[in-house]
Amino acid sequence: MLKYKVKNYKFRLVIEVMILNIFGILVIGSANPGYQTKQIIGMILGVVVMVFTSLIDYEYYMKLPWPIYVFNVCMLAVIMLPMFGDSAKGAQRWIQIGSFKFQPSELAKILIILFFAYYFGKHYEHINQLKTIMLSLFLVGIPLVLILKQPDLSTTIVTTMMFAFMMFAAGLSWKIVGGVIAVTVPMIIVLLNVILTKGETFLAHHQYIRIVAWLRPEDYPSEALQQSNSIIAIGSGQLFGKGLFNSEAASLKNGGFVIEQHTDFIFAIIGEELGFLGCAFVIVMLLFITLECIWIAKRAKDMQGRLIAVGVASIIAMQSFVNVCVNTGLMPNTGLTLPFVSYGLTSLVSMYIGIGLVLNVALQPRKYRSGVR
């Protein structure tokens, strides 16, 4: 019977996550009090799920890769059915059954991590062979296309980057990585030039508007207003901010000028009310959590454990990076939440599941049977 010692549990990672989550709950209460109680419930549920997940040997998941993959694909496909899919703001990203509602793409990230931890762990010795690369691209392409069809381009891009980091951690050659970068960068430049050309049609209208409003805010003032107000809010907080729960009439939050202030643009509220120090605190905490996951990956007992930890670290890092860049005007508006800070129960619980998996990876090197190390 497998047993774990309490002293080997990574409480530092748990404390870091919970501190950041509690901080987020406080900011959500200031941004939109109506969502604070729900987020507290989400945190309680997330912690319970995290602890439960951390005590289940991840090797059990490695024995069920294809059921995990099929379930993931079916879950993403069900959204397309009118009887289950729930649409909002032009996107159909939620499954609703009665009063129960959740966003499958958030859980899909974790399931993709589990499946490719198995796949790359099994084939890492052949990771640089064309057959292995093409088959892995085909396998990840199916759930990515389903996420893109919702439409959810930002989640598709972030999940693709997570997949790329896992592939690199599995031993993908630097020559292949360099070749992909050499091709991708010029393609992005060409793509942006094409997008700026009037009459392009390969993007959805809202995606096109977000990109051109970011590149040419003076030509699309109404579409660029959301990000412009976010930048102003962050700058107005200066070093210490205007104070949490402040009632200043000059506050962009109080004036309702920052839209989605409890989800996508919560970083703007942090900047306005808690200043540079508040923003720095959030970034440092997210960095600590990411580095802790990477450190656990380095000490994992096998390739599969390493890839699970790398996958969770990369999704937290990439999603945080994109959210902060959007709030500061360095990227076009994407609609991604800030991990453990923004409101979103599916996102929050899914992140806690990811942390639970990482915690179990950390316990494995110290695992012992029948009292013998």
- DSSP state letter for 336: P
β-pairing verdict for 85-88 and 2-3: unpaired
Q: What is the pLDDT of residue 373?
A: 36
Q: What is the pLDDT of residue 134?
A: 94
Q: What is the pLDDT of residue 371?
A: 43
Q: What is the pLDDT of residue 368?
A: 52
pLDDT per residue, tens digit, the chain (373 aa), is 357 778 888 999 999 999 999 999 999 999 999 999 999 999 999 999 999 999 999 999 999 999 999 999 999 988 877 656 555 555 566 776 666 677 888 999 999 999 999 999 999 889 999 999 999 999 999 999 999 888 788 889 999 999 999 999 999 998 888 888 888 888 888 877 777 776 555 667 777 788 888 888 888 888 888 889 999 999 999 999 999 988 887 788 888 888 888 999 999 999 999 999 999 999 999 999 999 999 999 999 899 999 999 999 999 999 999 999 999 999 888 878 999 999 989 999 999 999 999 999 999 876 554 443 3
- Burial of residue 288 (CB within 10 Å: 0-12, 13-18, 19+) is middle
Q: HSE-up of 190 (CA within 13 Å, CB side)?
A: 5
Q: What is the pLDDT of residue 99?
A: 62
Q: Are 361 and 308 in contact (CB under 8 A)?
A: yes
CA terminus-to-terminus distance, the chain: 13
d(CA 120, CA 136): 9
Q: What is the pLDDT of residue 220?
A: 81
The residue type of 129 is Q
**Residue 318 to residues 158, 313, 363, Cα–Cα distance (Å):** 6, 9, 25
Which three-class secondary structure state does DSSP give residue 213? helix
- DSSP state letter for 338: P
Helices 130-148, 153-169: crossing angle, 10 deg rounding: 160
Q: What is the pLDDT of residue 18?
A: 97
Q: Is it true that the peptide bond before 151 is cis, omega within 30 degrees of 0?
A: yes
Q: pTM for the complete prediction? A: 0.91
Tokens of 97: 């059954």
Q: What is the pLDDT of residue 216?
A: 82
Residue ranges of alpha helices (H) inside the chain are 11-31, 36-54, 59-62, 65-78, 104-123, 130-148, 153-169, 174-196, 205-215, 221-236, 266-298, 303-327, 345-363
Which three-class secondary structure state does DSSP give residue 99? coil
